[in-house]
A and B are shown apart, each in its own frame.
Chain A
């Protein structure tokens, strides 16, 4: 692998991975804040208003980090991936520009009103600004997913004389079936993060014995949303996304499952280490025929293994892809289990006194972040060796005129900058949580 190519890939992978830690909470918390505001408005309940204000403060800090780490993403399409931009800009320029024009203006204008305008607005108008922020963040996600879905499964384009691709059908681009499954799956994943973070903070207050009114609200809302969306994450969204891959990227499916040999009645590997050199799984624990059934709804169906495809069509890093996928699915299963047990306890009125379950909710906080990251790694590693599936290889898309040395320089800059940002974020959020929802409005707001 050419070293400049590697540097540009790591550059993008690192900055996008760090960036997406923030938008997933933005998109996940926004609807939950709307829920809190709605209850507050309906019941004229000051505790819910105060709870919404608390989460708005966390949201505000998180949003700033999402914005400042998001700008580099748009820039890098030009700075580090200029050949890709030249090739595909005529198509995905549509959705990237629409994100700016429709989502960012909406989001940023109303966030100012939502965070700083509560005293200037009527309660109903303030509620509307919360809804506008929610819509803006979800629209932004939509346009990015449509862009990524086009790279996974290009539609609605024609080849131009200069070798680039150009838009031929706007509606095909926007109604790409891949995009809609991916969007549903991704947004549901974001709400899981929001729900688990809310439940975790609530559990912290209940275990601590402070701000207990708020703790109960947070746990109740978090567990309820967590249950709904961790089920939706598996079915229908995860299932639909999986069948898209089986249909359009069969080699990716084979690599995700580390299925080296084509077979009928293919087993589903639950645990095991792919040994790519010897083309087998070490220490496998498998469910016989399950992969055939999940993919084609037939126990004896033929599933293509990696041996059905030439080596240069395989995703380059089979092992990492396999682990990413299995970590995502494994954690998703655990989320369902945690949510079901917590929801049962909540329903029986025992959750707030079950300290062991509150501890589980508290400590579950990092795992939705890991699952969402692993999910995106599955999508993007699975697309390799293509940058635009079937049309442009990753090795052809980077900025050839930006040397590895310049790339490493800015990569180091981002590593340093993001370390500082991460520390600041943790410090500030921890302080907000410790001050609690009932504290007098801090000097900052």
Chain B
């Protein structure tokens, strides 16, 4: 039962990163790729009707995590107090940047909100990557299951870590590059003409960086948290995951060169899912490793889960609820399918 809910939460987190990832990425390239006012409006229009729905995956994933693993939620949210509060502020700035920009007429204020949107998107991508890095690297958990990390200490990994050290900065950069490519490909799918070519080019230039960082990231992870290999050694089927990761990288470069934007976007989505599933597979059944005493203090799906009865009841509403949600999203993306046009309603 705990394993099932671990998979459900992982699926929701992956859905969040794939979906909100493309609008974060679109935000990150926004100022560079959108040269004219019309191009910027096109980018905003490409994400406008869907970004809020994408962000709901974060809320729903958080809610499901709270429901299934309350102790994990309590421990990690209070331990990552400062970066999470900053994520909240960035999410706020970004939300008003996207939505309220459209209500501004003065070019000075439009420019101001453009900048807010772009900067907050970049920082969020880095924060989310660093967050994942923290979870993989482990945190200084106390015997009571709690910890508190300052923003940084000495930038070294070990037992006296801050949120940021060389490893989590690295994972933050990987996330930024990955989402930049992901967002560029989404904008490429949704637009034509100059903007389409330019965003495809961003993805083309990002690709070698993404490949290098993936390899560096894998090596660094094995160095920082050697236990990640245990599950792979025990279940050789796990090695399919890196095959998928590199396969999708290959598919990306092939389809970007051929101008097959949709295929490239799917490849990028698959790459993200592969990376996240790879991390989840490596950690399972641990959900937050303790750097202090990995064997006894690590939080696992078993010592953090809610009661059995509650988890069973949850199946009865979570599954139909998610089927409904998938239905809404299919409808939403279908209604706004195709390349964006500037005439007509919205943004």
Interface size on A, residues (CB 8 A): 75
- Whether B53 pairs with A64 at a CB distance below 8 angstroms is no
Which stretch (B96-104, B176-184, B198-206, B287-295) binds chain A? B96-104
Chain A residues 277-297 with CB under 8 Å of chain B are: none
- Whether A90 pairs with B310 at a CB distance below 8 angstroms is yes
Contact of A113 among B59, B79, B82, B332 (CB under 8 A): B332
- Distance between Cα atoms of A409 and B96 in the complex (Å): 22
Contact of B74 among A61, A69, A89 (CB under 8 A): A89
Which stretch (B63-71, B122-130, B165-173, B211-219) binds chain A? B63-71
- Distance between Cα atoms of A112 and B50 in the complex (Å): 7
- Whether A410 pairs with B82 at a CB distance below 8 angstroms is yes
- Whether B91 pairs with A68 at a CB distance below 8 angstroms is yes
Q: Is B309 an interface residue (CB 8 A)?
A: yes
- Whether B52 pairs with A67 at a CB distance below 8 angstroms is yes
Closest partner residue, chain A, to B98 (CB atom)? A64
Given contacts A75-B88, A120-B335, contact A96 B78 (CB under 8 A): no
- Distance between Cα atoms of A61 and B95 in the complex (Å): 11
- Whether A101 pairs with B100 at a CB distance below 8 angstroms is no
Given contacts A72-B88, A112-B332, contact A86 B71 (CB under 8 A): yes
The interface residues of chain A lying within 8 Å CB-to-CB of B347 are 116, 444-445
The interface residues of chain A lying within 8 Å CB-to-CB of B325 are 101, 105-106, 109
- Whether B92 pairs with A105 at a CB distance below 8 angstroms is no
- Whether A89 pairs with B73 at a CB distance below 8 angstroms is yes
User: What is the total of A-B residue contacts with beta carbons within 8 Å?
Assistant: 234
For B61, B70, B314, which residue has the most chain A Cβ atoms within 10 angstroms? Answer: B70
Closest partner residue, chain A, to B321 (CB atom)? A101
Q: Is A115 an interface residue (CB 8 A)?
A: yes
Given contacts A67-B52, A110-B328, contact A94 B67 (CB under 8 A): yes
- Whether B77 pairs with A79 at a CB distance below 8 angstroms is yes
0 or 1 for each of A382-421: is its CB under 8 Å from B? (1 = yes): 0000000000000000011111001001100100010001
- Whether B74 pairs with A86 at a CB distance below 8 angstroms is yes
Given contacts A93-B66, A105-B325, A108-B52, contact A119 B344 (CB under 8 A): yes
- Distance between Cα atoms of A318 and B335 in the complex (Å): 54
Which stretch (A163-171, A182-190, A346-354) binds chain B? A163-171
CB distance from B301 to the nearest CB of A (A): 14
Q: Is A307 an interface residue (CB 8 A)?
A: no
The interface residues of chain B lying within 8 Å CB-to-CB of A78 are 66, 73-74, 76-78
Given contacts A109-B331, A116-B345, contact A424 B63 (CB under 8 A): no
The interface residues of chain B lying within 8 Å CB-to-CB of A61 are 99-100, 103
- Distance between Cα atoms of A111 and B335 in the complex (Å): 13
0 or 1 for each of B135-170: is its CB under 8 Å from A? (1 = yes): 000000000011110000000000000000000000
Closest 6 CB pairs between A and B?
Answer: A89-B70, A78-B77, A166-B307, A93-B67, A100-B60, A444-B102
New A-B pairs, 8, CB < 8 Å, besides A79-B77, A86-B74:
A64-B96, A67-B55, A90-B70, A97-B64, A97-B318, A98-B321, A116-B49, A417-B92
The interface of chain B, by Cβ under 8 A from chain A, is 48-50, 52-53, 55-56, 58-64, 66-68, 70-71, 73-82, 84-85, 88-89, 91-92, 95-96, 99-100, 102-103, 105, 145-148, 306-307, 309-310, 313-314, 317-318, 321-322, 324-325, 328-329, 331-332, 335-336, 344-347
